[in-house]
Structure 1
């Protein structure tokens, strides 16, 4: 994984992202030129892994993953920060540095630019370096396609209509208009389908698409941190569900579950959800487990830990970090409301210090216990994108919307019973089933960056925020564009709510 950051820097330098329009006439002797970059097997490795690195940076910067997916949902209360309070109340045009970062989609288009460049350059490398087999090139290109497809899905949920760019940049960034979000998702879905054909179920060396050790490492090293066929199918299911095509979504989820022996996916046990005292083992957020389908790693073993970029930076306080107060917390009343069933084990697993005015959110608590400096704590929780429990709840939703009520109840009860909650009533209506599924997603996935997207897809934004249905129709559920983005590209338009 050390290739991620090295590759990101090399490719940024090679493609001109860090240049300033020919500031120097003399060619740099340090930067890798584009002509020299894409020639060897190592270049292919660095260039393809750079897509993962840039995606991780885009989601980690200013805790963006949770800013977009969690904070507007209302579960977390803000203790003091003005920018987080504005975020929680959907005042997204407020003048804060972090808000400027969240409004700007350029870091996501840096991911897309790297993917476009890699997909253009990778096919030519086997002819230049006979160590790089075409079968390996197809495998690397498929991973890049997955990252590009996922990135487009991700930004559509944030900004709705977005520019669709599929070719490498030639010179300056071309002024592009917003494309209808359905067209963008159609492209992302086609990309994910194409990628799935060239990806293995696991990087265990037993699939025709990938044999032997991949880049010198076995299956345990790569588990859940690389794109697989299962991750592609899961992404396709989510894209289809966002488009309200629940039959297609269910088809691809069933393809995953029908191949359970190949994927090795499984449910996380209650014990494995508990964070170990050291914070470096146990818990699904340590990552590289059979219950995570796809994650972006911050692995302590590879020096990828950081002081920022994870939710712990906002949720932890003394004695875990040198802060008297956490930036955000879930109130005791909210916890009791969300986990209203006293037998639900998640309340005691996800939260601690319940006697305090500010209970501490402990679900994501991956601290590097090896660091003894009391003024510095390093976080190494993975950004978990897809996991098996979330897929089960999506499957329940698809069945409910397709009027397969018995199947929907069975999926929902599978998860509820594992957390010691009674089964749902057999006479529950479709509307009641969907409400129960949304409630279960809230309980299981709290703090993982799903809540706001769930409220949009279930049509519940007005019920859990200050926004009205009219506001939603005028674009309030999406994010406004940054002033810098609008000034650089006059062809872009702002949603009417944010004008």
Structure 2
């Protein structure tokens, strides 16, 4: 594991040299000190692998936020599981109160496009290595291209769910004179490119790298299936989502970690468990940014929806306090003070020290596949099977009977509501809540708009509540504005409709 992580973290500087990825700056004219420039790169299979590794390493951030921090903020701030705390910023509060302006730097997508450009560079220049390095096989090249195509697809999926219409860039930019004024592409077209990338990646992505750390920290064919399932649910293509989930389930390569002992430690503290499908890997040499966010001067704590023993999503057993949902107190959060625990806890009582803030960011795990399959089943008339999967998740978690629902399996909406509740319990603070809520609300031409308005009514502060509800009735408000700087530097970009 350590060998993989060391390579994963150190290689980013090599990728920068390989791409000379630009963002307007005279520094691009300088030759790197070690003498490597693009003309001397893309000559060996080792350099190709270094460039692929660099795409992963760029997820961990450099001078800006790590991409998992964006994944967390974009996936949680507009939902209902967070409450602002002492360290919260005004920009974060504005998003939580549905008061988003184009000057809000949290809507800056530059870090995402930087990694997309790294992926594009591998796709553009990687095939050339085959002509000069006779030891590189076509199969190995195809596997490398599959990794970066799937990673590019994943990042575009985050952009589509967060902004809807975004520039679609599939060619690399290697110098300032290649900068283009880009227009937006419709979200529907971007989704089609995502599907295309994933379809191409599916046939070539490795099933295994013969290393557990690589199998969890790099994209395998199972990661591709997981992204496909997620995308198809978003697109309301339920048979396709079901098929993608079944490819993972039928492989028998993954399973739920037992809820009897060690669930929290195995899944969230140690990471790379049998449940993990794709995890962005932090370690002592590259810490995540969650310890200062949740502990040093907490920007957020858990909302009462998490911690309330009577009306929260986990609840409490007043007759036997030893009975509890293992995903709640001491896992998602520490209920006594509301600290978000998933990234700062060692067990349900012990807190990490700052130097140990290297919990992985889990993009997909097996429980997600089961609940995505349940959703697809419910929406294809297979309610009983969907409820069986929900019960499988609940049994592992020792969920309390107080949170169980008696649901008519033929009522697809009721089954989906139950699944949405269960996803909140299972994936609290894993960056999925807003996207889950929006996916359910927008289904069938916003048939379930009520999910959004009810959420706002219980989360946004009183004086802003009616304004927030009114805004959420406009579907354009469900997506971020384009950051002001991007509009100023690219005159072909047009602001998203709600923010004009």
Q: TM-score band (shorter)?
A: 0.7 to 0.9
- CA change 1:259–1:108 in 2 (3 A) is same
Partner of 2:152: 148
Partner of 2:325: 344
Is residue 330 of structure 1 aligned with residue 302 of structure 2? Answer: yes
Partner of 2:339: 360
Name which of 228, 236, 250 aligns with 1:258: 250
* TM-score normalised to structure 2 length: 0.83
Name which of 456, 462, 467 aligns with 2:453: 462
Quick one: distance in 2 between partners of 1:360 and 1:25?
Answer: 47
Is the Cα contact below 8 Å between 2:375 and 2:416 reproduced in 1?
A: yes
Q: Which runs of 5+ in 2 are unaligned?
A: 318-323, 347-351, 442-450, 457-464
Is the Cα contact below 8 Å between 1:286 and 1:380 reproduced in 2?
A: no
Quick one: distance in 2 between partners of 1:44 and 1:195?
Answer: 17
Tell me how far 1:290 sits from its aligned partner: 1.5
Secondary structure in structure 2 of the residue aligned to 1:338: coil
Quick one: distance in 1 between partners of 2:68 and 2:144?
Answer: 29
Secondary structure in structure 2 of the residue aligned to 1:224: helix
Name which of 440, 445, 458 aligns with 2:427: 445
* TM-score normalised to structure 1 length: 0.84
- CA change 1:455–1:15 in 2 (3 A) is same
Quick one: distance in 2 between partners of 1:253 and 1:446?
Answer: 21
- CA change 1:417–1:61 in 2 (3 A) is closer
Quick one: distance in 2 between partners of 1:454 and 1:19?
Answer: 33
- CA change 1:464–1:106 in 2 (3 A) is same
- CA change 1:353–1:405 in 2 (3 A) is closer
Quick one: distance in 2 between partners of 1:122 and 1:480?
Answer: 34
Deviations 1:300-359 (A, max 9, x none): 3xx23x2x523x33222xxxxxx4x5221114564231113634232233256544xx32
Is the Cα contact below 8 Å between 1:162 and 1:181 reproduced in 2?
A: yes
Partner of 1:120: 124
Is the Cα contact below 8 Å between 2:216 and 2:278 reproduced in 1?
A: yes
Moved more, 151-160 or 60-69: 60-69
Higher relative contact order (CA closer than 8 Å, sequence separation 6+) = 2
More helix by percentage = 2
Is residue 92 of structure 1 aligned with residue 83 of structure 2? Answer: no
Partner of 1:290: 274
Q: Which runs of 5+ in 1 are unaligned?
A: 205-218, 277-281, 317-322, 368-372
Tell me how far 1:26 sits from its aligned partner: 6.8
Is residue 309 of structure 1 aligned with residue 316 of structure 2? Answer: no
- The residue correspondences of 1:381-400 to structure 2 (distance < 5 A) are 381-400=359-378
Partner of 1:169: 173
Secondary structure in structure 1 of the residue aligned to 2:178: coil
Quick one: distance in 2 between partners of 1:268 and 1:402?
Answer: 28
- CA change 1:135–1:88 in 2 (3 A) is same
Tell me how far 1:272 sits from its aligned partner: 5.7
Is the Cα contact below 8 Å between 1:77 and 1:330 reproduced in 2?
A: yes
- CA change 1:393–1:341 in 2 (3 A) is farther
Secondary structure in structure 1 of the residue aligned to 2:139: helix
- Size of the alignment, in residue pairs? 454
Tell me how far 1:27 sits from its aligned partner: 4.6
- The residue correspondences of 1:213-228 to structure 2 (distance < 5 A) are 219-228=211-220
Give the aligned CA root-mean-square deviation in angstroms: 2.7
Deviations 1:138-157 (A, max 9, x none): 21111111111111111111
Partner of 2:379: 401
